Structure 1
Amino acid sequence: MTNQVLEAIVQRADELSALGLSNEKLGRLDDQAAKVLRESGVIRMLQPKTYGGLEFHPRDFAETVMKIASLDGSTGWVSGVVGVHPWEMAFADPKVQEEIWGEDQDTWIASPYAPMGIARPVDGGYVFNGRWQFSSGTDHCDWIFLGGFLGDEEGKMAHPPVSLHLILPRSDYQIVEDSWDVVGLRGTGSKDIIVKDAFVPAYRTLEYSKVVDGSAAKEAGLTNPTYHLPFSAAFPLGITASLIGICEGALAHHMAYQKSRVQVTGTKIKDDPYVLFAIGEAAAEIAAARSALLDNASRMYDIVASGREVTFDERAVGRRTQVAAAWRAVRAVDEIVARSGGNAMRMDNPIQRFWRDAHMGLAHAIHVPGSVFHVSSLTQLDIEPPHGPMRSMI
């Protein structure tokens, strides 16, 4: 299948790249950048066809996000994060899908999924309260997925803990302005969200455990293998794809800058074998990170397309591959930035913005290697990993 979305992005590459500074100054995506994304169809790549979606292969989605992020990190990040939400919405009750997409199939859905709220059961649903950070692209979204724990009658977390994903319209939550003042990815507008005593009907909820184990997709009757990917493969894909794309953008700007640069010693970069070696090594590392992530997505897709479920061991190794790819690419960027000279750190040089964006993206919880590497090592030693937080990111 031709990736017409990627083709549309390529045609407007210069426009998206030029909007990067505006995104950063605004602290959110410029309206024109959001308009380009809507017109390209990137947010509909994983959306069900019943509501104008394209149901692309996850690899195509990742490649498109990488391209966007190579033009501007914040635009790519929003594409990767917001672009995954229609994938999960495909599991939701048809009634809420109609509420969101019935009148406008380009309606965007924000998040975050972190369970920072409590849902107290009442007749017909829940009363929901909480505060969340990091709602990327939220200014351009009209609905939101929010993570929360099931509460008891007093509004305290029930035991054992039960995690839910709750779906709310813009009228039921508050976006906290001036809550996104950070060093990188400033244009993502990843602001705080507050919910106070919002009623969430039961049909606007999903059990997190069912999303993770794949039963939500089965119960929804979905047949496209894309929807049977493990959550731990689909959710991180857009995030890590954008991070690797940011690294590709940093490399491209570095190469353009170094092409005619002369060092203070009078040596042209093209005549400095040490810098040339570093450039070549970094380019190879970023390319390897890209290949690893895309191959991982394709392998997961092939497993579910064959009718087999992805095992916990395979999920753990897949997450290890994804996390390692992120760190590999950012380390490569550090090597070339260290050889870009002081002028690369001037605010009018895009290299420094891509460098900042890369490190901000690496700080996302999905890229923390500790428990992921720990669990993947245990599974490969044929040792059952402990239950609880250790397995939560797998």
Structure 2
Amino acid sequence: MTNRVLDTIMERAEEIRELGPVNERLGRLDDKAAKVLRDSGVIRMLQPEAHGGMEAHPREFAEAVMGIAALDGSTGWVAGIVGLHPWEMAMADPKVQEEIWGGDPDTWIASPYAPMGVARPVDGGYVFSGRWQFSSGTDHCDWIFLGGLLGDEDGRPVEPFQGLHLVLPRSDYEIVEGSWEVAGLKGTGSKDVIVRDAFVPDYRVLRFAKVVDGTAPREAGLTNPTYLVPFSCAFPLGITSAVIGMAEGVLAHHMAYQRDRVQIVGTRVKDDPYVLYAMSEAAEEIAASRTRLLDFASRMYDKAAAGEEISFGERAAGRRLQVRSAWRAARAVNELVIRSGGNAMRVDNPIQRFWRDVHVGLAHAIHVPGAVYHVSALTDLDIEPPEGPMRSMI
């Protein structure tokens, strides 16, 4: 199947490439880079058709994100993060969907989902406050998904904790300028946001547990398999795809740079069997990461389309696959970069920017291996993992 969005991206590849250093200097996506994403349609790939979206196959979305990230890490990261939000918004009340997309189907929604705020119940909704980090692409978004905890009448989180995803318009939160001073992915503009006693009506709130267990899309009457794949497959997909795409970008720049390079000892790289060996091994590791991730997305889609239940064990194995794919690609990048020579570290060489971007992307909570590996190993042993935080990312 032809991926029309990816084809459009490739037509503007040079423009995206050239804007990479500009994004980094600005500390957010340049307006031109954001316009390329809007024009390509990548942010609408998982959006409901009723609101101008494509309801595309998750694999196609991942391929598009990889293609963008291989051109510029920050642009690919924003595509992967912001492009996922319409997937969950499809499960929300039609009223909030109309508020967001009724006037413009190209309206973007930011996040993060981390439960860093508390929602105090009041008549008709909640009073919500908190501060969140890492709101990628937020300067170009007019709405936001924010993670919160259900509170009591005094604003204290109730126990056991109950997670919420609350949807707010741009007028209800503050973007904190100067809060994204980082080593990599600088162009994502992943700034802090603050909410102070904002009223959020009931219809703009989703229960996180229902999103995770697949209840939310079914209650919303969604039938397209894209929306029935597990949250633990869909949400990490844009993030891991971006990291793999960045690794592909390193590989492409490394190959172009090494083709005519002469090492300080006078040996041409093309005549050095040790460097050539490492290049081939890294290329295959990155390709394996790509294949595994795309295969998983396709398998989850096919199971959802067939109406088959996707077990907790399958979800856990999928999360393990995502984490390992990102780490495998990043380690391959390291093998390339340490053989690229000192000039690869100059600021005008894109290799060093991609290298930094890959490692900041790897630091995302989605890619932390500990609990994921622990839980997936237990399920492989037919041992039920304990309830609690260990299961939360699965």
Q: TM-score range by the shorter chain?
A: over 0.9
SS of the equivalent of 2:155 reads: coil
1:312 aligns with 2:300: no
* Partner SS state of residue 130, structure 1: strand
Aligned to 2:229: 229
**Correspondence 1:90-101 to 2 at 5 A:** 90-101=90-101
Partner of 1:271: 271
Where does 1:1-394 land on structure 2 (aligned, <5 Å)?
A: 1-394=1-394
Q: Distance in 1 between matches of 2:167 and 2:65?
A: 25
CA offsets 1:225-271 (integer angstroms, 9 cap, x no match) = 00001111000000000000000000000000000100011100000
SS at match of 1:192: strand
Q: What is the rounded CA distance, in whole Å, between the counterparts of 1:384 and 1:181 in structure 2?
A: 41
Q: Which amino acid aligns with 1:118?
A: V
| Cα offsets for 1:174-194 (capped at 9, x unmatched) | 000000000000000000010
Q: Whole-Å Cα distance in 1 between the matches of residues 314 and 283 of structure 2?
A: 28
Amino acid at match of 2:133: Q
Q: Note the C-alpha offset of 1:99.
A: 0.1
Equivalent AA in structure 2 for residue 43 of structure 1: I
Residue-by-residue CA offset, 1:38-80 (whole Å, 9 max, x unaligned):
0000000000000000011000000000000000000000000
* Superposition deviation, residue 3 in structure 1: 1.5
Structure 2 counterpart of 1:86, one-letter code:
P
**AA at the equivalent of 1:23:** N
Amino acid at match of 1:383: I
| Amino acid corresponding to residue 139 of structure 1 in structure 2 | D
> Shift in Å at residue 159 of structure 1?
1.4
What is the CA deviation profile of residues 330-365 of structure 1, one whole-angstrom value per residue up to 9, with x for unaligned ones? Answer: 000000100001100011100000000000000000
Query: Identity of paired residues, percent?
Result: 74
Distance in structure 1 (CA, Å) of the matches to 2:154 and 2:50:
40
State TM-score, norm by structure 1: 1.00
What residue identity is the alignment partner of 1:114?
A: A
How far 1:138 sits from its partner (Å)?
0.2
Amino acid at match of 1:222: L
Q: TM-score, normalised by structure 2?
A: 1.00
Q: Counterpart of 2:221 in 1: which secondary structure?
A: coil
Secondary structure, counterpart of 1:164 in structure 2: strand
- 3-state DSSP class of the match of 1:92? coil
Cα offset, 1:2, TM superposition: 2.6
Secondary structure of 2:70's counterpart equals helix
**Distance in 2, Cα, partners of 1:153 & 1:372:** 35
Q: CA RMSD in A?
A: 0.5
Distance 2:319 2:151 in 1: 30
2:208 is aligned with what amino acid?
A: Y
Aligned length: 394
**Deviation of the 1:4 alpha carbon:** 1.1
Tell me the secondary structure at the aligned position of residue 355 of structure 1: helix
- Name the amino acid aligned to 2:161: P
Q: What is the identity, as a one-letter code, of the residue corresponding to 2:294?
A: L
* CA apart distance, 1:308: 1.2
Instruction: State the Cα distance separating 1:33 from its structure 2 match.
Output: 0.3
Gaps of 5+ in 2: none
In the TM superposition, residue 160 of structure 1 has moved relative to its aligned partner by 1.6
User: What amino acid is the match of 2:336?
Assistant: I
Mapped to 2, the partners of 1:268 and 1:161 lie a distance apart of 60
* Distance across 2 between alignment mates of 1:84 and 1:266: 49
In 2, the alpha carbon distance for the partners of 1:381 and 1:87 equals 33
SS in 1 for 2:266: coil
Q: Spell out structure 1 runs of 4+ moving beyond 3 A.
A: none
